[in-house]
Amino acid sequence: MSALGVQSFTQQGWEQVLAKVKRALVYLDAACAESLHWGCGSTRLLEAVGGPACHLREFEPAAVAGGAKQPKAVFVLSCLLKGRTVETLRNIICRSHFQYCVVVTATNHAVHLTANHVPAAAAAELEGQQPVFEQLEEKLCEWMGSMNYTAEVLHVPLLLAPVSPYLALTPAFACLFPLLPQDVDLLNSARLDKKRMGSLGEVDSTALTPELLLQIRCLVSGLSSLCEHLGVREECFAVGSLSRIIAADLANYAPAKNRRKTSTSRASVVFVDRTLDLTGTVGHHGDNLVEKIISVLPQLPGHTNDVMVNMVELTALQNEEKQNMIAPGCLAQSNDTAAKALWEALLNSKHKEAVMEVRRHLVEAASRENLPIKMSMGRVTPGQLMSYIQLFKNNFKALVNHCGLLQLGLATVQTLKHPQTAKWDNFLAFERLLLQSIGESTISIVLNQLLPMIKPSNQRTNDDYSSEELLILLIYIYSITGEFTEDKDLAEAEEKVKKALVQVFCEETELSPLLQKVTGCDSSINLTFHKSKIAVDELFTLLRDIAGARNLMKQFKSVYVPGNHTHQASYKPLLKQIVEEIFNPEKSDPIDIEHMSSGLSDLLKTGFSMFMKVSRPHPSDHPLLILFVVGGITVSEAKMIKDLVPSLKPGTQVIVLSTRLLTPLNILELLFATDRLHPDLGF
């Protein structure tokens, strides 16, 4: 078993796909494209296809069809083969001249049976058979125009986008997010003939929408395949309500039972709800360059975890209007050994060390290419890095040899020069002030400190906070405060902040996509005072939910550490508390880390432990810990876990999984999403 397991798992999956694509048109959906991007790179796919032309296309209804000289197609899809997905397949195939079609789905056949409402008992009898895939193969031949043509449908678990040897993400589940207390009301409204739930603690799988349940089953299918690749039998644990449902589904996943019987190694899989601690996602404590890069640079289109790097500086183009002619660079450099080494150094270093590491790599690359480099020591500046990068501009061979490194170098320069980076320290200073204020005063006083900073757009300078940034600060305040006492002062302070925010929203000259989501208006012209007031009231309902997210916890009730005469008040991440509790030698039975039984033997063990000396399963029992954060993780959090586990229990390996990388802005998008209970599964 190796820490490189997530990378080999992804690469092994793509090798199965690459074996099918020779001389084919390849259609990929966004999630599979992202897995390819981080796992082995599009270059590998193009090499496997062969031929001078680019044969990669996005899987969508309007996709370009195959021509008369393109008889073969491979479709690589992350989703279930059902509904709109099948319609899109039919649309593309009927407009093409294919004689050979391969459809690869990242979701296994057992989940397709569930999606088609086949009862569990009937599904068990179909073990080894794949009727859903076989029926689709017949349809593919029918759409191609002859039953003598070749069609193949197969499952390959393309679940992960491995960002590093210890961190991997699940692009197909980037929008999967834990439930909030307000979601309980929505779930209750669909349970007219059943007992109403009083809190998130009462939510179980029977209460969820069919779409969300199916989304969870698709994720569980992929995680089971990962455990099979790692050769482990997993014990499942959970912290949080949605995590409990996911962990229970994996523990009782029927297709995994035979696998577990033959597994020689063991692993603990601990699922954690992101909503239990949002402080780290909106805070600026993480002294990490990559975190800043993904926060300030624009998102790479179609991706959830990578950014666009402007490459114009390495071209002869000067005209700003022509910049969109140049393809953007990115952070993922899966086929460039030197760039990959730098990327991993950036993930694992503090900001200052990371910038020096970028300079060192650029200097060494320039020296190897005999470029006329002028050495300079001391503080690294964006201008200095840019002067090194410019050396490669007129040397095509050097440019090609070090393209990956130059993309990371330009990403660094563009981040250091970005106005939002200058604001990072302002955020950090205010957050530190808040930490001290929370310990010395009530939340009402903290809100009154924020009030003067809430300014309409026509009164703001570059140093002032935008509407979105004010939302980030509010989430920080409510998340780190946690439970608080209602009083007259709080009600008055909230009303003042609400009134100011309503005014700010109304006076925005243009609504950003996020503000459109928050206000429910697509244009500032349509945003009336009344609509703005409704949006702000809903925002404060959300803030109360965030503050109360840990109410059901017995041990992990707070992420705030009060100050004393020797230490200032500080933030202690929930993930750190969980890892420390897992490896705490003095506590045999974690209170808030719930074990999910996988059958009768586990239930008996749990029952006997009440009156006999039978130890319950513990997350520190096994040599591998897989920590899955449902709803996203920051780069700093992943590094903290990676460093913390071996320091607490040497020899234990850790794999960090999550749905996506988080920035302060994209956590806002997830919180204000309207489809949390009804995810779009493509049908």
Helix/strand/coil (H/E/C) assignment for every residue in 339-360? HHHHHHHHHCCCHHHHHHHHHH
469, pLDDT greater than 50: yes
319, pLDDT greater than 90: no
584, pLDDT greater than 50: yes
Beta pairing class for 167-169 and 161-164 = antiparallel
Confidence of residue 625 (pLDDT cuts 50, 70, 90): very high
First to last CA, the chain: 38
605, pLDDT greater than 60: no
Token digits of residue 362 = 């650029």
Q: Which residues neighbour 485 within 8 Å (Cβ) at sequence distance 6 or greater? A: 442
Q: pTM for the complete prediction? A: 0.94
Percent of the chain residues past pLDDT 90, beyond the cut: 71
What's the whole-number average pLDDT of the chain? 91
CA distances from 172 to 175, 179, 475, 531 (A): 8, 18, 26, 33
pLDDT at 609: 52
Q: pLDDT digit string (tens) for 504-560? A: 999 998 999 999 999 999 988 989 999 999 999 999 999 999 999 999 999 999 999
Percent of the chain residues past pLDDT 70, beyond the cut: 96
606, pLDDT greater than 60: no
Q: pLDDT digit string (tens) for 209-221? A: 999 999 999 999 9
Q: Which residue type occupies 574? A: L
pLDDT at 387: 92
Q: pLDDT digit string (tens) for 121-170? A: 888 888 778 999 999 999 999 999 999 999 999 999 999 999 999 999 99
Segment 628-642 shows an average pLDDT of 97
pLDDT at 8: 95
4, pLDDT greater than 90: no
Residue 612's Cα: distance from chain center in Å?
42
Confidence of residue 239 (pLDDT cuts 50, 70, 90): very high
484, pLDDT greater than 90: no
pLDDT at 269: 97
Segment 390-402 shows an average pLDDT of 91
Confidence of residue 230 (pLDDT cuts 50, 70, 90): very high
pLDDT at 607: 54
- In the chain the domains, ranked by start, together with CATH numbers, are 6-158 (3.40.50), 159-276+573-682 (3.40.50.1910), 298-417 (no CATH), 421-548 (no CATH)
For residue 630, how many C-alpha atoms fall within 13 Å in the half-sphere facing its CB? 29
Q: Which residues neighbour 587 within 8 Å (Cβ) at sequence distance 6 or greater? A: 581
In angstroms and rounded to an integer, the radius of gyration of the C-alpha atoms of the chain is: 26
Segment 268-282 shows an average pLDDT of 96
Q: pLDDT digit string (tens) for 93-102? A: 999 999 999 9
Q: How far apart are CA 560 and CA 272, in angstroms?
A: 19
Judged on CB neighbours under 10 Å (0-12, 13-18, 19+), 563 is middle
657, pLDDT greater than 50: yes
Token digits of residue 294 = 């993904």
307, pLDDT greater than 90: yes
Q: pLDDT digit string (tens) for 23-44? A: 999 999 999 999 999 999 989 9
Q: pLDDT digit string (tens) for 58-67? A: 999 999 999 9
pLDDT at 1: 42
Judged on CB neighbours under 10 Å (0-12, 13-18, 19+), 122 is exposed
DSSP string, 308-328: -B--GGGSS---GGGGGGSPP
> How many other C-beta atoms can be found within 10 angstroms of the C-beta atom of residue 669?
15
